[in-house]
Every structure is written in C-alpha cells, then in structure tokens.
Amino acid sequence: MKDRDNSFVRLYSRTITSLAVIFIMLGTVAISPIFQKVYAQSNDITINGAGATFPFPLIDSWRNEYQKIEPQVNINYQSIGSGGGIKQFTEKTIDFGASDAPLSESERERAPNAMHIPETIGSVVVSYNLSSVPEKGLHLTGPIIADIFLGKITKWNDPAITSLNTNLVLPDSEIIVTHRSDGSGTTFVWTDFLSKVSPEWQQQIGIGKSVQWPTGVGALGNEGVANVIGGTPNTIGYVELSYAISTKMPYAFLQNQEGNFIEPSFDSIQAAITTISASLPKGNASWTGVSSTNAPGKDSYPIASFSYLLLYKDLADNPSMSKEKAQELVNFVAWAVTDGQSYSKNLGYVPLPDSVVKLNQETLQMMTYNGLPIPPTISNGNEQTGSDGVFGIIAVVAASSVTGFVIYRRMKSKFHPTTKVDYQSRDDRKKRLSLFFLKENRLGDRIFKVVAIGAAGYTAFLMALVAYSTFAGSSDIFAHEGFFGFVFGTDWNPVEGRESYGALPYIIGTLASAGIAMAIGVPISLGIAIFVSEISTNKLGASLSFVIELLAAVPSIIYGLWALFVFRFWVRDLIELPLSNAFGETIPLFAKTPFGLDIFTAGIVLAIMIIPTVSSISREVMRVVPNSQREAAYSLGATRWEAVWTAVFPYARSGLLGASILGLGRAVGETMLVTMIIGNATGLGAIPTTLFSPSQTLSSLIANQFNEANTELHVSALVALGAVLFMITIMINIAARMVISYTSKMKVHKMKNNHQPSKMGTGDLPPTEIKNNSDGGSVNVIGNSTTGWKGHSNVQAIIRKESSKRILINKGVTLWTIACVVAAIVPLGSILLEVGKNGTSVISIEFLTQTPGAIGSRNGGIGPAVQGTLLVVGLGSLIAAPVGILAGIYLSEFAGKSRFADVVRFLNDALTGLPSIVIGIVAFVTIVLWIGTFSVLAGAFALSIIMIPIVVRVTEETLKIVPNTIREAGYSLGIPKWKITLFVVVASAKNGILTGIVLGISRITGETAPLIMTILGTSLFFTSLVGPVDALPLRIWRLASQPYESAHDFGWGAALILILMVLTMNISLRFLAQRKGGLGAANA
C-alpha cells in the first residue's frame, strides 16, 4: 500500500511542481512594483506628459537638459497629437498635456480650471516642388493659396500667380495639392489662417484639426507631406517651419496684412507674436479663439501660432499627483519657459518674446496644490545615485528564479524517492500495472475540458467585449445621423458646428483596396505554398518558407516607410505609367495621371503584407494532407498540378479558406501602412473613380483622425467606422463559408449525376475527329466503323494531344509558382536592404542599452524600447498563446458541432478584421481608465486580443487535419483524453501551431496603434507594471516623424533591431520545437 501512495504522488508531482513554480513567478512579478519602489530612490520623480507632435523635439531636449540640472526628476513626454494630449489630460492619465490649439469651450467644460502656458511658437510654411523654382522665394498671397486649396486655381501659370512672380517662369501644369491626412495642430493653424484671409474658405471648409478637403492628396505627418512634395513635381503643400528648415525644403514668401511679402524667419514670426501679446488673456482664463495668424505689423509673418502646455490650476485635481511631484512639475515648467527657451533656435523653434514669458510666470504663481500656492522654487540640487530600471528587472527575475528553483528542488527531493523495485514475474507486473492504473481517475480529463472551455469562453468574452464596446461607442453617431444615414452618407466634416459624417466612400475604399490585395496576394501565396510543399526539395523549401516568414516579421510601419520612399515609385514608373499611357484614353479604369499614392499602390503593398500570413498557413495546411491523397492522383496519371488541384486543394479547402480570411482580416484592418500610401482623400473624393485615384479606407480614416478627434460626435463617428468594418468582416466571412459549402455540395451533386463516360473514354470521341476520318477515308461511315484501328489511333492522338497540353499546363504552373516566390522575395530583399543600409551604422551596445539622448543628437540609444517590447510582447504572448491554443483545442477536439463553438468561431473570425486601433481603444477604456495610468498590463492585454484569434484559428485548422486514427490509437490504450490531446495530437500538429504562434508574435511585435493608447511610450526604463513603457514600433514611429537625419537613422536602426528580434524568436522557437519532439527522446 505504501508503494502505491508513493506512485500516486509521483504521478502528480511534476504537475504540482510546475504549477508551484508558475505561481511563484507570477507572484514575484506581481509584487515587483513594490520591489521597484523599495529599490528606486524615494526622491526619484517621473513626470509624464503627452500631446502635440510639433513641440516634441523641443520638450525632448528639455528632458535631456533638465536632467543635468535636476537629476532626480525624469521628464517623459510622448507625442500622441494635440487631441490625444487633451483627451489624456482630461482623463488625468498624465501629469501635463500639450496642444497646438487652445481648449475649446466644450473641452474647457470637461477640464475645468485648466491653465494655458504657451511654451513655444510654431509657424506653418508653404512648400512646393517646381523645377523652374528650386529655391525659396515664390510669392503668394493668402487668398491665392485659399483658391489653390479650394481647387479654384488649378494651373501654376494662372495669371493670379504669375502676376506676383514676374521674374519667375511658371509651368503650364496642373497644381497637385497635398495636405495632412491626420488630424493635426498644423492643419488647425493652417485652416485658421485660410479662414481669416478667404471668406469662401471660412464658409465652405472652416477651421479644424481635420477638415473636409475639397481637393488634393492627404499624407501622414509632416514627413509624409514633405515626401509627397519632394517626390512629385508640381506639388504644393504646407509643413511646420522647423521641418522645412531642417530638411531644406523651398518655401514661399507670404503677403501679410500690410501687403509686404515676408519670408518666414525667427524674427518675422517673433514680430507677429509680439504685436498680439498685449491682447492675450490670463493663464487661467479661456483661451478659446486666441489666434495669432494674420497678425498686424509690417514685418509680421502671417502664419504663426502658440503651442501650449496644459496644467490644472490646482494640481491635486489629478489624484495620482503627490505634493513633491506637483512642486517639481511647476519648477520644470518655470525653467522651460525661461532658460529652456535658449534651446529653441537650434531646433528651429521660435523663442517666446519677453512679454509672453512674463505672462507665463504670472500664471505659474497662480498654481496651487490642495488650495495652497506652490510657486516655483529654486533647485536645491539633490544628488542621487543612478537608478536603473534594467537592474530592477534583473533583480526581480533573479529573485523569482532562485525562489522557484529552490522550491522545485525541495519538492523534487521530497517526491522522488529513489527506491527501485524488482518485478519478478509477468503476473506480478500485471498486478503492479493494474494498481498504478487504478489510482488514476478521470479528474485530469474533467479539468482539461473545463480549462479548454474556459479558454474558449475567455476568447468569446474578449470578442464580445470588443464588439460591445465598438457598438456602444458608436451609439452617439447612429443617433445623430441614423444608422443608414451614416452607412450611406458621403460627407465627412469634423469641423465643430458643421459636423456631418458618412461612411460610404471608405466602405468602398476598404472593399476596393482589400479586393486588389486579395486578388494579387492570395494567388501568389498559394503559388508559394505549392512551391514549398509540393515542388521544391525539402531544404530549399524550408529555407524559402523561413525567408518568407521574415516578411511577417516586418512591422507594418516599416512597410509603410518602405512603400513611401521606395516602392511607390516602382509602382508608378513600372506599372501605373505604362498602363495609363497605353490605356488611359480608352479604358476609364486606367485614366488619371498616377503618382503612386493611390488605391492601386495600397492594394499591392497590402498584398505583399498578407503574403507571409496566407502562404505560411496554406503551406502548413497542405503539408499535412496525407501523401496517399497525392499518390492516388498520381496513380491515375495526373500531373503534379493536377494532383494539387484534384487531391490537395479539396482536402485542404477549409484550411486554405481560413488562411485567406486571416489575410483578408489583416488587409482590411491595417492602419498605418494604408494611411501612408493611399492618398487619404475624404468625402466624395474618397470614392475611387479609377484604379489610380487616391482613396481612404475605414481603418486609415480612424488612424488619421482618432488621435486628434476632440468632440464626442467625432470620436463616436470614428468608432462607428470600426463597427462598420466589423460588420463587413462578418459578412465576408459568412459569404466565404457559404461559397465553400456550396461548391462542396456541387461537387457531390455532379459526381452523382455523371453517368456519362468521360471524355478520355473510347465511347465519346469528339465529332470533328470522326469527320476528319470519314473525309480521309474513301467510302462511307460503315468503312469507318469497320476499320476500328483508325478509331483507336484517334483516341491515342487525343490522349497524346491532351497530355502534351497537360504537361504544358503543368510546366506553366511550376513556372508560375517560382514567379510567385520571386515576387515575394524581391520586396523582402528591398525592405531588408533599405533597413540594413540605413540602420546598421547606428547599431552599437550603447544604442541597445541606453536611454535616448536629446532628439536630433546622436547620443543615447533605444534601450527602453527594446526592454518594453520584450516585456509587452512577452507578456501579451504569454497570455495569448496558451489561451489561443486551448481554445483551438476546444474547438477541434471537444466542441463537435455545438452552438457555443460556432459562436466562438464566428466572433473569432470577425475579430481578425477589426483594426488594431479599435482594440487599442477598448483596452484604453477598460484597462487604462480602470488602473488610471498607461501600463505594460494594458499593452499586453491589447496585444493578446490581437494575437488570440490568429492562434485559435491556426490551432484549430492544424488539429483538424491530424488523422483520427492517431487519436483512436491513443484511446485504445486507455490513455485519458487530455493526455492524448496534448502528447499525441498537439504534438503531431506542433509545427502548424508553432507557425501560428510565430505569426501571431510577429504580428503583435510590429503593432503601433494599440500601443499608443495603452503603454504611451517613454524615454525611461521600466519601473513598474502600472506605468508607461516604451516599445520599438512606437519609437520608430516617433523617430520617423522627426525632421532630423539622426532621428531617421535611429529609426532605421530600431527597425533593424525589431526585425532581428522577431527573427531570433522565430529561429529559437523552431529550434526548441525540433528538440522537444513528442514524449522526449531522452528516455530511450
């Protein structure tokens, strides 16, 4: 009896041990913030701010300089857009906000007692690309610019322009207008100016961070506008002054109120601000309507504007603000508006004039904490020893692993007595076995089933949560416009007071771009899958599929940059221009002069982006098709292609459909990439009239405007776009399922009714052959039938003719698959080349481990981003992988045809098409607002929602293909189902599941949009689970939007690191999977 107890314990000891270790690890991680607090210096203070993109380089250099003066104060400012800044400031998730526009009345109501502190001055310049005017100095007036942007002046040699520039030669070509597609303070200032100088503009368009542009191409960020201007002749657009200065773009001199043409410069802009500074309100008053554009004064440049810091008058309004922190915040701002101004000019910012500095100092004197004034104090120069987040993490990990290990050893020694028993006879052994088996009850099965159902339920819950939040968030706009009014409306005007929203153009844009992407991407993916699984030798195939999976590792933002800088010119010059030249006149589809920023380019780049997903899953699905299927086809004399077509495809049909749906989901849900290259038209102009028209998708519009949306209706309208996308995905899904079940029914039907002998049979000769024969023969039809040999030779001829045709088709298909592989590898090569070329120079140990230096300098590194990515993606996939696999196991092994399973599948598929930014919004509303700060947890939660559906789908598909006989073999040995599932079925399908996980991790590693809403970003190392962290895609995104060469190099370097990280993960996961085969060969 004693032995039996022992063995029972032994049976479970490993499970218990692993559970214990996991709990201890989790526990340690959970208390790590406490750890960190004890460890970190008690007087170390981090001040988090977020908002406008425009002042980011300046505030970032303040961060760097201020740390030298006050080492214990860490300033963390993240550029998320003015609207985002106001939103976060209102929600009190940050310590200070920053905005390029003053708070509107409605915003002031939501954030009462907000103080405006102008911290720097921005200016917008008009830039252009004219071969005849390569330098600055084109003269323009406000009304002329307004007419150009209204689409009324369309030619460069319009008399209105030439009369102002008599010394210049202007071409007789169309003016291509470009504007910001994303909501931005720059656009706000720009439209503010245009409204002042043109009554027509004011009437038709109005002022806003996003407006309904009557004409032109939209580009993302200053960077995007500069790129369009630089790469497209005859364009005109507007960018920030600091951007134009550092990138040396040509800019126009503008006429001011007094009729002088003024060059934008520090002096002319400061002059403009000085003339209005006397009329500025107090810091605690309303600044709504304060505008410094079109300022009076003979030397004033007409487009200048403040950028503001936002603080609560009583800093204790923010519950997470301690008194010490409040004091440090006031000190920092006081420093920024005085000494901090000296860093402006180097970065292309206009320093505040003295009058405004004085106003700010008065404002700061008004600040209070719980009613008590806290005026700025002079620094007492606290010394501190360096606190390093990395060290803290190492300490936590080390502590938890040591604890885990010690406990593991103790348990092991306790539960593993080393007594050996001899087994005398067969009967004795039989009894012993029986006794062992006796003690095993069915608890394991029950637990496993409950866990699997739980995972599926959790998945369903997440999906339902996202769906519910999306639709709940849309209710405002549906109430305002009516559901059908919104879906079929064509207007999109977010300007306050003229709000009107309709989604139809973007629905069309989404369907068209995704359609192009699928039409190009799916056949190429299938070609690759066929090549890798059916044609190529094992080694070549394996390395090829590895290389193609690399494409999945490239974050979409890098695709976007590559498409913007490289690929769109290929498309324009190699495909679009020839097509347009050849058919532009005859086929309306190809009309319109292309410049590479249109729905066609977007479709192609999306196709490239979905290829790795679709081809990897298709490959795995095709690989598990049993060989007997192929052999059956070959035995009938089928060519390789025919075997694929008749045996492999039908067998793998549902898996291939699943792969395509995942690809489609990715294509319709993509935000950043599309935004960069689709041209971003709004309103009626977004309905593509030709293949080469600029357009806009539902996802890209959300990405463009969400961060700056500042009215509830606008936010609701954007969320409703997500809801519309959700519905579209669901409809496509249902349609795809119907098509599949219809075609499979058709086949059965056909087979049942096909009693006719086949064409190849002797009884059914084509009539032409007989006729030929009788012509050649001498007498009559009877002669034909008697000379049976001739008929026979005819059959042979047909077969020969047919087979040579078939062999030709087979060769063609083989060539096509090779072409597909090449088509996927060329862009990959180009991307890697671009990233490698630009990124390798900056990579060093410091680059990887240090915090960022001042923006624009070449100091410091991206350490926090590397660390943050590891943390967020690691935690996210730790949640998603087990949940996804278990849910997939439930669907494949337990669910059968249950309703619940159908619901889970349905929600899961629908969710793959939801843009990640919507998931970011959900995570923000649930986790961030609940905890009260941005955090790793929120980021991991959001990423896990994105990853789970991929893992679930791939797991289910691969498990389904494991032959049932394998399961039965397991059952027949009396092994509990959960063990069969884990150690036999899942083990057989592990390559496919692993592909799913790798794809999932690759996908979330490159995500940007949801991270902005959940982890915010920071320049500091990780300190706690409930504070902002950084991530590589965020860092790349922010570096890329800076006007500095060094920042771009750092961005490419970060991209290279990101790709290498995904690559390493990919390789090591595969390596691990190869080592740990099945039950472990170590026992043999």
Partner 1 sequence: MPSEEQLINLPSNSLNKGPAEEMKRHYKVSIKNLNAWFGAKQALKGINLDVKENTCTALIGPSGCGKTTLIRCLNRMHEMTIGASATGNVLVDDVDIYEKKADPVLVKRRIGMVFQKPNPFPTMSVYDNVAAGLKLNGIKDKALIEEIVKESLEGAALWSEVKDELDKPGVSLSGGQQQRLCIARALAMQPEVLLMDEPTSALDPIATSKIEELVHELKKDLTIIIVTHNMQQAARIADYTAFMYLGELIEYGPTKQIFENPEKELTERYISGKFG
Q: Taking the complex as a whole, how short is the minimal distance between the CB of residue 927 and partner 1, in angstroms?
A: 39
Q: Taking the complex as a whole, how short is the minimal distance between the CB of residue 631 and partner 1, in angstroms?
A: 14
Q: Which residues bind partner 1 (CB under 8 A)?
A: 7, 10-11, 420-421, 423, 426, 429-438, 440, 442, 445, 896-897, 963, 965-966, 968-977, 979-980, 983-984, 987-988, 990, 1077-1081, 1083-1084
Burial class (CB in 10 A: 0-12, 13-18, 19+), 721: buried
Residue closer to partner 1 by CB (options 583, 971) is: 971
3-state secondary structure of 514: helix
Neighbours of 290 (CB within 10 A): 18
Contact (Cβ atoms closer than 8 angstroms) between residue 955 and residue 990:
no
Residue closer to partner 1 by CB (options 370, 1074) is: 1074
Rounded-to-integer distance, Cα 515 and Cα 531, Å: 24
DSSP secondary structure letter of residue 686: G
Q: Taking the complex as a whole, how short is the minimal distance between the CB of residue 418 and partner 1, in angstroms?
A: 11
Contact (Cβ atoms closer than 8 angstroms) between residue 170 and residue 162:
yes
Rounded-to-integer distance, Cα 699 and Cα 123, Å: 30
Q: Taking the complex as a whole, how short is the minimal distance between the CB of residue 1081 and partner 1, in angstroms?
A: 6
Q: Taking the complex as a whole, how short is the minimal distance between the CB of residue 459 and partner 1, in angstroms?
A: 22
Residue closer to partner 1 by CB (options 439, 749) is: 439
Residue closer to partner 1 by CB (options 783, 1080) is: 1080
Candidates 184, 56, 96, 53; CA nearest to 706 is 184
Rounded-to-integer distance, Cα 761 and Cα 766, Å: 11
Q: Taking the complex as a whole, how short is the minimal distance between the CB of residue 397 and partner 1, in angstroms?
A: 32
Q: Taking the complex as a whole, how short is the minimal distance between the CB of residue 902 and partner 1, in angstroms?
A: 15
Question: 128: part of which helix (H) or strand (E)?
Answer: strand 114-128
Residue closer to partner 1 by CB (options 780, 964) is: 964
Question: 305: part of which helix (H) or strand (E)?
Answer: strand 304-312
Residue closer to partner 1 by CB (options 38, 1081) is: 1081
List, as one string, the DSSP characters of 214-244.
Answer: SSSEEESHHHHHHHHHHHSTTEEEEEEHHHH
Residue closer to partner 1 by CB (options 472, 966) is: 966
Residue closer to partner 1 by CB (options 105, 631) is: 631
Distance linking the first and last C-alpha atoms of the chain = 30
660 contact partners, CB below 8 Å, separation of at least 6: 518, 522, 614, 736
Q: Taking the complex as a whole, how short is the minimal distance between the CB of residue 957 and partner 1, in angstroms?
A: 18
Q: Taking the complex as a whole, how short is the minimal distance between the CB of residue 429 and partner 1, in angstroms?
A: 7
Residue closer to partner 1 by CB (options 439, 771) is: 439
**Max CA pair span of the chain:** 122
Q: Taking the complex as a whole, how short is the minimal distance between the CB of residue 972 and partner 1, in angstroms?
A: 4
DSSP secondary structure letter of residue 102: P
Q: Taking the complex as a whole, how short is the minimal distance between the CB of residue 435 and partner 1, in angstroms?
A: 7
Residue closer to partner 1 by CB (options 282, 431) is: 431
Burial class (CB in 10 A: 0-12, 13-18, 19+), 591: middle
Q: Taking the complex as a whole, how short is the minimal distance between the CB of residue 450 and partner 1, in angstroms?
A: 17
Q: Taking the complex as a whole, how short is the minimal distance between the CB of residue 980 and partner 1, in angstroms?
A: 7
Q: Taking the complex as a whole, how short is the minimal distance between the CB of residue 962 and partner 1, in angstroms?
A: 8
Q: Taking the complex as a whole, how short is the minimal distance between the CB of residue 986 and partner 1, in angstroms?
A: 10
Q: Taking the complex as a whole, how short is the minimal distance between the CB of residue 967 and partner 1, in angstroms?
A: 8
Amino acid at site 502: G
Residue closer to partner 1 by CB (options 8, 649) is: 8
Residue closer to partner 1 by CB (options 12, 569) is: 12
Contact (Cβ atoms closer than 8 angstroms) between residue 910 and residue 945:
no
3-state secondary structure of 771: helix
878 contact partners, CB below 8 Å, separation of at least 6: 940
Residue with tokens 């495809």: 649
Residue closer to partner 1 by CB (options 756, 972) is: 972
List, as one string, the DSSP characters of 345-393.
Answer: GGGTPBPPPHHHHHHHHHHHHT-EETTEE---------------HHHHH
Question: 540: part of which helix (H) or strand (E)?
Answer: helix 538-553
Residue closer to partner 1 by CB (options 426, 539) is: 426
Q: Taking the complex as a whole, how short is the minimal distance between the CB of residue 409 and partner 1, in angstroms?
A: 18
Radius of gyration over alpha carbons of the chain, in Å? Answer: 33
Rounded-to-integer distance, Cα 918 and Cα 715, Å: 11
3-state secondary structure 558-602: HHHHHHHHHHHHHHHHHHHHHHHHHHCCCCHHHCCCCCCCCHHHH
List, as one string, the DSSP characters of 389-420.
Answer: HHHHHHHHHHHHHHHHHHHHHHHHHHH-----
Residue closer to partner 1 by CB (options 429, 801) is: 429
Residue closer to partner 1 by CB (options 625, 668) is: 625
Amino acid at site 314: D
Residue closer to partner 1 by CB (options 778, 965) is: 965
For the chain, give percent helix, strand, coil, nearest 5: 65, 10, 25
Question: 1052: part of which helix (H) or strand (E)?
Answer: helix 1045-1075
Contact (Cβ atoms closer than 8 angstroms) between residue 256 and residue 300:
yes
Contact (Cβ atoms closer than 8 angstroms) between residue 544 and residue 637:
no
Is the Cα dihedral 677, 679, 684, 688 positive or negative? negative
3-state secondary structure of 495: coil
Q: Taking the complex as a whole, how short is the minimal distance between the CB of residue 990 and partner 1, in angstroms?
A: 7
CA 754 to each of CA 34, 548, 746, 750, 758: distance values in angstroms, whole numbers, following the listed order? 75, 42, 12, 6, 9
Residue closer to partner 1 by CB (options 758, 972) is: 972
Rounded-to-integer distance, Cα 927 and Cα 915, Å: 19
